[in-house]
Homo-oligomer: A and B are copies of this chain.
Amino acid sequence: MTEVILTANQYGKAENHVVRVTRDSDRHEVIDLSITSELRGDFEAAHFAGDNAHVVPTDTQKNTIFAFSRDGITSPEAFLLRLAEHFTSEFDWVTGGRWAAEKFGWSRIEDHDHAFFRNTPETRTAVLVRDGATDTMISGFYGLTVMKTTQSGFVGYPKDKYTTLQETEDRILATDIATRWRYNRTDIDYDATYDSVRATMLSALGKEYSYALQHTLYQMAQAVLEKHDTIDEVKFSCPNKHHFLSDLSFAGLDNPNLVFWAADRPYGLIEATFARKGSDSAEAAWVGIAGFC
C-alpha cells in the first residue's frame, strides 16, 4: 500500500457570527464579528485511525467563542489573540492554528442611543496565525470600491502581434481595494491603526497621477509603511475594473470621456506585496489566504 503522510492540516468552526452589545449605560455599543477558529497540531490519529482523542470538537470551539464574548470584545485582533492563547494552552497537542475575524461596521442613526445602521462599505478582516511561539497578525479589509475619473493613464507598454489596446493618458481608474497588512508585533492599538491605514490609502489614491494601477498600489503601500513602523508588509489583490469609453459614433455623437460602460469580466487583476526593506519575511503565514500572492 502506498504510504501517505499528513502534512499541513487545520480544522475548526467557521463563521461564528457574534453580535456583542455593551449596555453599561443607555448609550449602547455594538460589535459585530464573524469569527473562524482553526486548530493545528497533532491530529494524525483522527485522519489515519478514526481516533478522535485529540479532536477538540468544532462545536466546543464555537461555544468557547460565544462564552469569551461575554467578557467583552475590544478589537477583533485582541479577541483572536485570546482564542489562540486559550486553545494552545488548554490542549497540549494544539501547537498553533489560524483564527480569523470579519468585522462589520455600524453607525448610530442620528446619534441614537440604541438604533444603528450598517454603514461601512468595506469589511474589516483580521487573521492570526500561531505556529508554536510565533504569532503573525495580519489585518486588512476588502470591498472598498474607489474611482478616479481622471489623472490616470496607461502608455509605454510593449506591443506584440496580440496587442490591440490603444494608449491613453486620460481614463477612469477603478478598483475594489482588497488589502492585508502584516504587523511586526502584537501589542498594537488595532482600531486606531486600522482607521489610519484606511485613511492613508484613500488619501494616497487621490494624490498623484496614476501611470497604472500597479503604480497607485505602490503609492498606497509606501504611504502606509512610511506612517506605521509597526507594519512590515502590505499586500494588495485588486481588480482593474474596466470602464470602457462608449463608442457613440453610430449616433453621430462624440464622447470626450463622459459615458462609460462599467464591465464585469474579464477584468485586470493586480496583486503585489510591498515590504519594509530589511524586515523578516513570514511567508508561511500567508498560505491559504485567498487571492494574495
Q: Give A contacts to B, CB under 8 Å.
A: 1-23, 28, 30, 32, 36, 38, 40, 43, 46-60, 62-64, 66-67, 69-70, 90-91, 98, 106, 109-110, 112, 114-121, 144-151, 154-165, 172, 202-203, 205-206, 209-212, 214-215, 217-218, 221-222, 225-226, 233, 239-240, 243, 246, 248, 250-253, 255-278, 281, 283-284, 286-293
Whether A47 and B1, one on each chain, are in contact in the complex, defined by CB atoms closer than 8 angstroms, is no
> Does A157 contact B57, Cβ atoms closer than 8 Å?
yes
In the bound complex, what is the Cα–Cα distance between A131 and B236 (angstroms)? 21
CB of A16 to closest CB in B, whole Å: 4
Known interface pairs A4-B276, A289-B290; 10 further A-B residue pairs with C-beta atoms within 8 A, sorted by A's residue number: A4-B225, A8-B272, A17-B262, A52-B155, A52-B212, A55-B214, A60-B163, A106-B147, A115-B205, A161-B252
Residue of A50, A121, A250 most packed against chain B (CB within 10 A): A50
- Compute how far the CA of A1 lies from the CA of B257 in the bound complex, rounded to whole angstroms: 37
Residue of B nearest to A268 (CB): B58
CA distance A43 to B281 in the complex (A): 20
Bound-state CA distance A156–B54 (Å) is 9
Given known A162-B67, A259-B69, contact A151–B114 (CB-CB < 8 A): yes
CB distance from A171 to the nearest CB of B (A): 11
CB distance from A244 to the nearest CB of B (A): 10
Q: How far is the CB of A235 from chain B (nearest CB, A)?
A: 8
Q: Is the CB of B160 within 8 A of A60?
A: yes
Number of copies: 4
User: Does A21 contact B172, Cβ atoms closer than 8 Å?
Assistant: yes
Q: Given that A70-B255, A255-B70 are contacting pairs, would A273 and B110 also be in contact in the complex, using a CB cutoff of 8 Å?
A: no
Q: How far is the CB of A289 from chain B (nearest CB, A)?
A: 7
Contacts of A145 in B (CB 8 A): 117-118
B4 touches A222 (CB 8 A): yes
Q: Is the CB of A7 within 8 A of B258?
A: no
Chain B residue numbers with a CB within 8 Å of A257 are: 21, 23
Q: Are B20 and A259 in contact (CB under 8 A)?
A: yes
Sample of 6 A–B contacts (CB below 8 Å): A8-B272, A17-B266, A58-B269, A63-B163, A109-B206, A288-B291
Chain B residues lying within 8 Å of A288, measured Cβ to Cβ, are: 271, 286, 289-293
Cβ–Cβ < 8 Å partners of A172 in chain B? 19, 21
Interchain CB contact under 8 A, A260 and B290: no
Closest B-chain residue to A259, C-beta based? B69
Partner of A50, one of B60, B164, B206, B212: B212
A2 touches which of B54, B155, B209, B222 (Cβ 8 Å): B222
The answer, among B158, B252, B276, for a CB contact under 8 Å with A3, is B276
